[in-house]
Amino acid sequence: MEVQVESAGGLLRRLHVTIPADRFEHEIGERLKRLASRVRVPGFRPGKAPLKVIQQQYGADARNDAVSELVRTTWPQALDQVKIQPASQPNFQVTTEAVGQPLVYVASFDVYPEITLGDLSSLKLVRPQVEVTDADVERLIDNLRKSRRTLAVVERPAQQGDVVTLDFEGKLDGEAFQGGKSDNASVEIGERRFLPDLEDGLIGHAAGETFDVEVNFPADYRNETLAGKKTVFTVNLKEVREARLPEIDEAFLTAHGIEEGGEAGLRAKCREALETERNKAVNNRLKREVMEQLFDLHPIDVPAGLVAEEVERMRAETANRIGANNPAQKLKPEQLRAMLPAEMFEPSAKRRVALGLLIGEIINARNVQFDPARVEAALSAIAADFEDPSEVVKMYQQRQDLMQGLRSVVIEEQVVELLVAGAQVTEEAMSLEDLLKSQNQAQPA
C-alpha cells in the first residue's frame, strides 16, 4: 500500500492512498464467492450458479462493498504509516476503481496545530478584594422579603416601588406607532423594565387619572425609527398597589431553613451564602482574565472540523435554552439551521476550540495531574442543590458524558489555578455589588 501526504494549506491535509490491483481484485473475488454460496439465481440450484453469472448480476455491488471495506480497514493503517493524527473526521473520495487498476482514494482532514507556549508568567491579572458588608447582608434579606411580598391597592398617588396598572398609547409627531400601545400593562416603578421617562412620569398620579407623559427614546434604541426621538404617551392610570413586605417572623425564618438562632441565624446564613457567591465570582473573573490573555498570547489556527462540531454543540445548547427542541414544537434540522445559522456561533466556537487546545498543551507541558478528589467534591456541590442529592450523584455516575464533562471542568480549574499562581497578580478593592454586576455583564470565557 502506497501512502502520500499532501499539505493543502493551513491545517488541511490530503492522504492519497493506493491499494494494489491484486489486493483490490482479491477482495472483490472473495465477496463474489460468498455471494455464490448463498444467493438464488433462476435456473440454478442454490450455490451452483457459475461465478461468471454471479459476477454479471452482483459484480457492481461486490465492487462497491469491497471499496467501502478496503477504505475502512486501510485508513487507520495509512495514518499509522505516515504518523499523522487527524483532528477531525476525514472526507473520503475514491478517485480510481477501474477493473485491473489499483484502488486509489483521497482522505481529506484537518490536523492539530503545532503550539509553542509563550511566556505564561507574563499574564497580568487583577484579583478583586471584596468584603461582604452588613449592607450586603441587609440587601439580600430585603430581596428575600420582596420575593414573598404582597400587593395592596392604595388610594394615593403612585410613588417609587409601587406596582401600577395602566393603559397607554404613544405618539410620534402626533401619529401612533407600532408597539406603542398597551392595555392593562403592569409596571413596577423603579425597576426600569419600561422606558425610564414613562416610569418616572407615573409618580404623583393616582388611579383614575388620564395624563400625558413626554418620553425620550434612547439614541441606541433597537427600533431605529424611534431611536433618539421625543414622543408623547397618553396614560390612563387604573390602579396603584403598594408592596408590603413580610415581617421576619418564625414563619419567614422557617421558610428559609432557619430552625434556630432567629434573625441572627438568618443573617449568618445570608453572609455565608454571599461569601460563597463572592468567592465563585472572584474565581470566575480570574478565569475569564486568564482565558482572554491566554487566547491573545497564542494566535493559532484551529481545525475547521472541530469548529464545525463546536458550532453544532452551541446551536443545540441555544435551541434547548430557547425551547426550540420542545417535543411539541420541535424544529426540523434545516429549520433550526436557518433560525440559528452557523455564523452566529463561529467566532465563539473558534475561541472555545483554541482555548481547549491551549489548555491541553499546558496540561501536557506542565504535567498537570487530574485530581479525582476534586471531581467528587464538585459532584457533591452540584448534588447539594437538589432535594435528593444521592439520586443526582447516582445519575452522574451512570452517565459517562456527564462525568466526562465534570472532569473537564475540574482539570480546567486546575490549569487556571496553575496559571494564576505563576502570573503577575495585583489586588483591587471592589464592592460585592460591582463584582456581581461585572460578572453578569461579562461574556463566558
Which residues lie closer than 8 Å to 274 by C-beta, 6 or more apart?
A: 132, 136, 137, 140, 432
Distance between CA 253 and CA 243 in Å, rounded?
Answer: 20
pLDDT reported for residue 222: 86
354: nearest Cα among 284, 301, 282, 416: 301
- Rounded distance, CA 128 to CA 370, Å? 28
Identify the structural domains of the chain with CATH numbers, from first to last.
2-110 (3.30.70.1050), 150-244 (3.10.50.40), 266-441 (1.10.3120)
Task: Classify burial at 119, counting beta carbons within 10 Å of its beta carbon; exposed 0-12, middle 13-18, buried 19 or more.
Answer: exposed
63-105: pLDDT as tens digits: 888 999 999 999 999 999 999 999 988 999 999 888 889 999 9
> Mean of the pLDDT values across residues 131-139?
96
Model confidence, pTM: 0.76
Long-range CB pairs of 216-224, under 8 A, 24+ apart, other chains included? 223/179
CB 322 within 8 A of CB 77: no
Give the separation between CA 401 and CA 408, rounded to whole angstroms: 11
What's the pLDDT tens digit per position in 236-283?
Answer: 999 999 999 999 999 999 999 898 899 999 999 999 999 999 999 999
Averaged pLDDT, 318-330: 75
pLDDT of 207 over the 90 cut: yes
DSSP-derived letter for residue 370 is: P
pLDDT tier at 445 (50, 70, 90 boundaries)?
very low
Residue 186: CB atoms within 10 A of its CB come to 14
